[in-house]
Structure 1
Amino acid sequence: MKTNIVILIFFLLSQLGFAQSSRKMIRGQVVNDSIKVENVIVFNTNARTGTITKFEGAFEISARENDTLVFSSLLFKSKKVVITKEDIENEVIIVPLKVFPNQLREVLVERNKTKTPKINSQAEVDKKYFDDKQSSPKNTVMPNYNAIENGVDFVRLYKDVLKLLRKKNPNKKDFTSNINFTEVVMQKIHYSFFTNSLKLRDDEIKLFLVFCENDAKAQSIAKSSTNFELMDFLVGQNNEFKKITALEK
């Protein structure tokens, strides 16, 4: 009898611990005061979870307390947000992103202000979410407000990538809207693969995926590949991408 009681208590405690640690789907919105926010990639670095923001920066992602979300985009500085208990309980979490000081002219920017839900004021959001050294890297040797760590100018890098894409696809004008490949990658590939294996910085991840999307093999890889084949494709694309980055150092 005592043994059964002990087993029952252990089972109940295990269930309680699981309930506290299990992830749930949370809703959020990425915002900016002056630029429409779309197609920002969102990684949960603690789980095999990723997504892309939809209309007006809205997103849904599985998370729990203390998970870290990483946001990467073409127009906005990358950002890391640590999920709190309050975030889990809120109906929507708001994540403001800062525009690169020298905006990327090749990207079509709509000047319509994003509508911000009334659950939090912008002042409250600014106090709650903060940038860290990894989110906003600085080059201490050569001060440059448009640069990312180690002196790589992100705006210049984007222009060089776009120049290469135009050379490969002379009849194509829009290189950023076809996100089918990126959506597959976000479902299958963990954040650590980009940072640890490919050695990409948060600011570079979105640009790298745009670079991959416009490869002739990208769509077929996305439709029929295994995770290993997909990672092998990303490694090959990264070798070419790194050649462009090296020109900026």
Structure 2
Amino acid sequence: MKAKLLTTISFFTYQISISQTEKLLHGKVVSQNNILSNVEVINKTAKTSSKTNEFGEFSILVKEQDSLLFFSKDYLFTRLKLTSKDLEKSYLIVEMTPKAEELENVIVSRSAFTKTEIKKIANNKEEINKIIIRKKFDEVTSKVNVYDGRIKNGLDFSYPIFDKPKKKIEPRDDRFKKLVIATCPPDFFIKNLNIKPEEKETFLKFCNADPKSKTLLEKSNDLELIDFLHTKNEEFKKLK
């Protein structure tokens, strides 16, 4: 009888302790005043997950200091470390940032724009279309032949026989770097990985040297990419 009583007391004590630390968190995921459905909501600490419904709403069991990750294909992933103030709220609003639209064969020089202007262009389709039209115009005008005073069929002294053979320079593969920048928020390296701004370029080269980075380029899975960066960060810090 005593054994049963002790078991019952232990069970209720456990239930009370669980209820004191865990809470069913309710919230909504939005972006620029638009609700986001089918967003993956992951409690990385507790290894549980949920998804937003058609109204952008979600519910997930959490406790203080848990790390929540929010994933959606067309948006930068968002990480939230829960505090006691977050748990006191009856409803949590999470804001996600759209990924910059990728344009093929369009190159915008960063030196020609301020940071504010670059951000404005990245989220303004009208400005993007202007860049495309301007580039097409430049391509057409570059094909127009203009007489430069040279004699037709004359000897071309720029022909390779008059020059020393130049060493072929292999183009640098920046695809992995571009993938990371397009996927991760600007403060990800400082807040999540504790990497200083001056170390960021070296760290990305270190990651790019790993053959797995090429696999991630083919799969393009945000969650696998984040786990890969955390793993490489631990290796990177051991080298320092």
TM-score over 0.5 for the pair? no
The TM tier, using the shorter chain, reads 0.3 to 0.5
TM-score of the aligned structures, taking structure 1 as reference length: 0.39
The structure whose Rg is larger is 2
Instruction: Tell me which of the two structures has the higher relative contact order, counting C-alpha pairs closer than 8 angstroms and 6 or more residues apart.
Output: 1
TM-score, reference length from structure 2: 0.41
